């Protein structure tokens, strides 16, 4: 499974990196984001393209999340 | 607020507030303009001496402080920086040169459309063309690299600087310049302008409204979330302008605008391309700057420097049309963007995308 680290990247790169990873392996992906903006952008993209999402907040970090997405 | 209703509501509030600000004294179709207002503030500080565009705009201060306070309250204030700072400064500079050729940032372009100014259609076409240019580079791996965590103080300084500006506005010491004629002399009362700015700052921080993001995401990801805000501003500004009698359909004699279609197109193409490379329009940069993104602070300073150069060297257009110097500056701007866009393509961006491999781990 592809794991993408988008921390510190500005718009729209977190979504673009997610999109590119899914072009290689479209079944599942894990995306690490470090802002709520990137989180909602990536989640919205995954929703639009038909993935189920499971997001967990990283311990001790207010704005860092791991988004796990699996093709519906 | 991360919903379609939220962003449409935000667009509606901005469209209507902008018309109210005109009703209370701002220039027509300039209820809110990030580029113009940064330019006016830059002039008030004496960094350019164009006497008709000097005023410390409370809307900017309100937007910054509104976004700052809500981001702190929502625990989204996060101090970061270090993602190609000087390139961002230059991009901010170039975006301002493009905006002052067109006479407005992307937000004012939308408000001009909502006022019936058809010259803004050339601006919109150019803006979309610039965004498409930017997307081509994004798709090929353009990146300004990562940001890093910085000290809290680094992030607090920009909101604090805006508090300082507000004190200068209220106390009006002799070394601050305020226009007595021209667009700079047209302004709503301080309290109203500040309140409007605060509301806009809070709403835009929550919804992430961005003028360049709307068209960009619609093309790149078929995601219409942000463009709904863009359209909502046009619709509600139109309704407000019709209600108050400011609506004037046509090309000729529009407020703080010129009718040179080619240079309206090119100015906004430059602003659109630069904004995509930055990751957001001037309004969005201001919000990011307020929530601790120091790279966006640098971008805003770049816009301010661009505005100072634009008026010191007669690069800014006027109601009579573009200046010869301004045309040269816009062309240099395109060359600079091409260089920045090309040399920031990560050659291995595509090659590293493989199943089971960590992408962008550094």
Does residue B303 lie within any of the structural domains?
Answer: yes
What are the DSSP calls for B99-149, one per residue? Answer: HHHHTS-HHHHHHHHHTTBTHHHHHHHHHHHHHHHHHHHHHTTB-----EE
Domain chopping of chain A, boundaries: 2-71
Of A5, A37, A45, the CB nearest to B208: A37
What span, in angstroms and rounded, lies between the C-alpha atoms of B140 and A6?
17
pLDDT > 70 in chain B, percent = 95
Domain A2-71 = CATH 3.30.110.40:
yes
Residue B147 tokens read as: 């940001």
Overall residue count recorded for chain B in this entry: 362
Q: Is the Cβ pair B357, A2 closer than 8 Å?
A: yes
Calpha distance B271→B285 (Å, rounded):
13
Taking the C-alpha atoms of residue B302 and residue B292, their distance in angstroms, rounded to an integer, is 17
| Residue A10 bridge partners (DSSP) | none
Question: Could you tell me the CA-to-CA distances from B57 to B17, B45, B143 in Å, in that order?
Answer: 15, 11, 33
Residue B359 has pLDDT above 90, yes or no: no
3-state secondary structure of B321: strand
B 165-184 near A (Cβ less than 8 A): none
Beta-carbon contacts of B275 under 8 Å, excluding residues fewer than 6 positions away, are B95, B106, B130, B131, B134, B211, B212, B281, B282
B362, part of any domain: no
Region at B182 (left for phi over 0; alpha for psi -120 to 50; beta for the rest): left
The whole-number pLDDT of residue A62 equals: 85
Residues of B in contact with A35 (CB under 8 A): 76, 78
Q: Hey, which bits of chain B come out as E strands?
A: 80-81, 148-149, 358-359
Is the pLDDT at B320 greater than 80? The verdict is yes
- The answer to whether residues B70 and B202 touch, using CB atoms and an 8 Å cutoff, is yes
pLDDT digits (tens, 9 = 90+) for B81-92: 999 999 999 999
The ipTM assigned to this model is 0.94
Q: Which residues of A touch B280 (CB under 8 A)?
A: 10-11
Which pLDDT does position B2 carry in this prediction?
Answer: 60
pLDDT band at B344 (very low <50, low <70, confident <90, very high): very high
Is residue B331 predicted with pLDDT exceeding 50? Answer: yes
Average pLDDT of the segment spanning B246-273: 98
Domain of residue B89: give its range.
4-343
What does each of the 72 residues of chain A score in pLDDT, given as a tens digit? 789 999 999 999 999 999 999 999 899 999 999 999 999 999 999 999 999 999 999 988 889 999 999 999
pLDDT attached to residue B362? 41
pLDDT score of B351 more than 80? no
CA A50 to chain centre: 13
Identify the H or E element spanning A66: strand A65-71
Q: Tell me, what's the pLDDT at A27?
A: 94
At residue B212, the pLDDT reads: 97
Cβ count near A27 (within 10 Å): 12
Number of domains in chain B: 1
Q: So what's the pLDDT on residue B130? A: 98
Mean predicted confidence (pLDDT) in B267-296: 98
CB pairs under 8 A between A and B: 89
> In this predicted model, what pLDDT tens digit does every residue of B151-183 receive, in sequence order?
999 999 999 999 999 999 999 999 999 999 999
Which of A4, A12, A35 is nearest residue B217 as measured by Cβ atoms? A12
Q: What is the mean pLDDT of chain B?
A: 95
Nearest to B17 by CA among B183, B197, B166, B242: B197
pLDDT category of residue B357 using cuts at 50, 70 and 90:
very low
In a domain, residue B193? The reply is: yes
User: Is the model's pLDDT at B63 over the cut of 50?
Assistant: yes
Is B139 near chain A, with CB under 8 Å? yes
B118-153 pLDDT per residue, tens: 999 999 999 999 999 999 999 999 999 999 999 999
The answer to whether A8 contacts B213, with C-beta atoms less than 8 Å apart, is: no
Examine the pLDDT at B46 and tell me if it is beyond 60: yes
Q: How many CB atoms lie within 10 A of CB B29?
A: 31
B293 φ/ψ angles, rounded to the nearest 5 degrees: -85, 100
Which residue from B minimizes the CA distance to A7? B146
Query: CB-CB: which of B2, B76, B361 is closest to A63?
Result: B76
| CA pair distance A10, A13, nearest whole angstrom | 6
Torsion, Cα A37 A40 B139 B347, to 10 degrees, reads 70
- Domain assignment present for residue B231? The answer is yes
Residue B304 has pLDDT above 90, yes or no: yes
Neighbour tally for B178: CB within 10 Å: 16
* C-alpha count within 13 angstroms, C-beta hemisphere, residue B187: 28
In this predicted structure, what is the pLDDT of residue B254? 97
């Amino acid at each position: 499974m592809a794991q993408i680290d988008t921390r510190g990247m500005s718009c729209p790169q977190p979504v673009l990196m997610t999109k590119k990873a899914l072009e290689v392996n479209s079944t599942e992906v894990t995306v690490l984001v470090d802002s709520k903006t990137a989180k909602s952008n990536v989640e919205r993209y995954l929703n639009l393209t038909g993935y189920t999402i499971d997001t967990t907040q990283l311990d001790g970090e207010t704005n860092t999340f791991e988004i796990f997405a699996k093709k519906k | 607020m991360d919903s379609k209703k939220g962003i449409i509501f935000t667009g509606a509030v901005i469209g209507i507030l902008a018309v109210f600000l005109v009703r209370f004294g701002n220039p027509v179709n300039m209820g809110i303009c990030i580029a113009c207002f940064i330019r006016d503030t830059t002039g008030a500080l004496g960094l350019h001496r164009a006497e008709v565009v000097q005023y410390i705009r409370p809307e900017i201060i309100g937007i910054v402080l509104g976004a700052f306070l809500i981001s702190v309250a929502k625990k989204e204030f996060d101090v970061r920086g270090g993602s190609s700072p000087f390139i961002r400064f230059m991009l901010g500079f170039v975006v301002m040169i493009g905006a002052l050729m067109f006479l407005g940032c992307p937000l004012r372009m939308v408000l001009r459309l909502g006022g019936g100014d058809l010259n803004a259609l050339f601006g919109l076409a150019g803006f979309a063309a610039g965004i498409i240019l930017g997307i081509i580079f994004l798709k090929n791996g353009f990146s300004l690299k990562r940001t890093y965590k910085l000290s809290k103080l680094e992030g607090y300084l920009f909101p604090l600087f805006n508090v300082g500006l507000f004190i200068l506005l209220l106390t009006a010491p002799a070394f601050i310049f305020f226009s007595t004629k021209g667009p700079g002399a047209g302004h709503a009362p301080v309290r109203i302008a500040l309140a409007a700015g605060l509301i806009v700052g809070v709403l835009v921080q929550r919804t992430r409204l961005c003028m360049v993001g709307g068209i960009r995401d619609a093309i790149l990801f078929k995601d219409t979330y942000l463009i709904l805000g863009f359209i909502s501003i046009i619709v509600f500004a139109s309704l407000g302008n019709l209600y108050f009698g400011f609506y004037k359909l046509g090309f000729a004699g529009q407020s703080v605008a010129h009718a040179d279609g080619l240079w309206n197109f090119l100015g906004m193409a430059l602003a659109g391309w630069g904004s995509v490379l930055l990751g957001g329009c001037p309004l969005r940069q201001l919000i990011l700057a307020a929530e601790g993104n120091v790279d966006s602070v640098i971008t805003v300073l770049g816009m301010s420097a661009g505005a100072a150069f634009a008026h010191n060297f007669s690069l800014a257009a006027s109601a009579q049309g573009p200046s010869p110097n301004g045309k040269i500056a816009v062309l240099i701007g395109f060359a600079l963007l091409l260089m920045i866009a090309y040399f920031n393509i990560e050659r291995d961006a595509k090659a590293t995308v493989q199943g089971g491999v960590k992408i962008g781990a550094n």
